[in-house]
Amino acid sequence: MSYAVIKSSPVLVSPAASTPTGTLPLSSIDRTAAVRVSVDFISVFSHGEQPEVKIKEAFAKALVPYYPVAGRIAEPTPGVPVVDCTGEGIWYVEATANCRLEDVNYLERPLMIPKEEMLPRPPSSVKLEDQILMAQITQFTCGGFAVGICFSHLVFDGQGAAQFLKAVGDMARGLPEPTVKPVWSREAIPDPPKVPFSGPPPSFTAFNFVTSVIEISPDSINRIKDKFTAETAKKCSTFDVISAMIFKSRAKAIKLADTAEVRLGFAASTRHLLHGVLPTVEGYYGNCVYPVGITKTSEEMNNASLMEVITLIKDAKDALSTKFVDWMSGGSDTHYNVPLDYGTVTVSDWSRVGFNEVDYGWGEPKYVFTLNDDVNIVGSVIYLKPPTPKQGIRLMLRCVEEEHSAEFCDDLLKF
């Protein structure tokens, strides 16, 4: 049987009441942290009564306090994007699938319905990169539904987008206002002087990365944490453990020359460092990330124990506050730009961002997953919560080519 999704034409959901107009600045972090990319993800819910109606109304209500989200990205000065508070609203698509969630394995990989069918798109006359957020509700014959979201990374980081969607959930559940009051305050973040770029422009190689999904059990994670504490008398996080496993296993699997560089890159949250900079950090939904990178030779990584690699990651995170504060005060620290070659892997932790806590009135999602299958320039790994009731961390690996995939996955599972 072929599974099909029938979509209604996209409609604009505008704020439920009148909202301020004018333009709002983006912060220096918004403008450096992200090019104008759209982040696409899907949340799967096992049941809901008329979710397309309830959630649509909830978006309209949430867009009143979060009125910038109903606007558009504009660029009156080249290279300086802003948010134009037009109050137009967000594009919203209602869709129905001709199957049960069970028939398509609850949208587990490999997807049995093309992702394009599950994601909202505006009418063809509309510029996609000017949109701030779009939503699609797809209903399945079993009574379950999926919410496909596309949001602009220029306006939100993951935590910020989750905060907005939690506010939509608050409205859908009948709360009079969002639990967390939104804060814009982008202008409060300093604009460090631009460092003139020197050197050749970056070159991009397209790799043939394969997508694999593996699960790391809570037992494995806790065993490594306990061992680290026993050896160092310090604590480490789940992120530290998983990132060390990936960095070490991948360096071994890709078999670069001993002297070749292998690198791990990730965007670390700086929300805790913005107290005193922002009027209030609670409610701020802009980008609060700073790039962190670790570079070693292939030989150093192969000789390092897992505990030593965990320490490297902890040290890099500890150095973040100094580097970030230095950057904000216009110091010499430039963003860590990793070369985009086969030696580099970037990791992103979606397991604690907040998308798994969005409740539109029928409980939290069974599963949330991101769609980044078309990125072939840099190796990436995304950490997800596995579908309930499973525990642990699900890794969506897209960072090695076919010839290295089996060894990389096998090595990860040995931990």
Catalytic residues: 153, 359
Q: Which residues of 18-34 are buried (b: 16+ CB within 10 A; e: fewer)?
A: ebeeeebbbbbbbbbbb
Of the candidates 37, 65, 19, the one whose C-alpha atom is nearest the C-alpha of residue 285 is 65
Q: Which residues of 61-98 are buried (b: 16+ CB within 10 A; e: fewer)?
A: bbbbbbbbbbbbbeeeeeeebbbbbbbbbbbbbbbbbe
For residue 264, which amino acid is it? L
Specify whether the CB–CB gap between 247 and 345 falls below 8 A.
yes
Of the candidates 395, 398, 404, 402, the one whose C-alpha atom is nearest the C-alpha of residue 377 is 398
Task: Compute the distance between CA of residue 247 and CA of residue 301 in angstroms, rounded to an integer.
Answer: 8
Q: For residue 233, how many other CB atoms are within 10 A of its CB?
A: 7
Half-sphere exposure of 229 (CA within 13 A, CB side): 10
Specify whether the CB–CB gap between 131 and 263 falls below 8 A.
no
Specify whether the CB–CB gap between 290 and 267 falls below 8 A.
yes
Tokens 């078999």: give the residue. Answer: 255
For residue 218, which amino acid is it? P
Beta partners for residue 44, in sequence order: 146, 367
* H/E element, 42: strand 38-45
Of the candidates 38, 211, 2, 207, the one whose C-alpha atom is nearest the C-alpha of residue 109 is 211
Task: Compute the distance between CA of residue 270 and CA of residue 249 in angstroms, rounded to an integer.
Answer: 28
Of the candidates 54, 70, 56, the one whose C-alpha atom is nearest the C-alpha of residue 18 is 70
Specify whether the CB–CB gap between 45 and 367 falls below 8 A.
no
Specify whether the CB–CB gap between 31 and 154 falls below 8 A.
yes
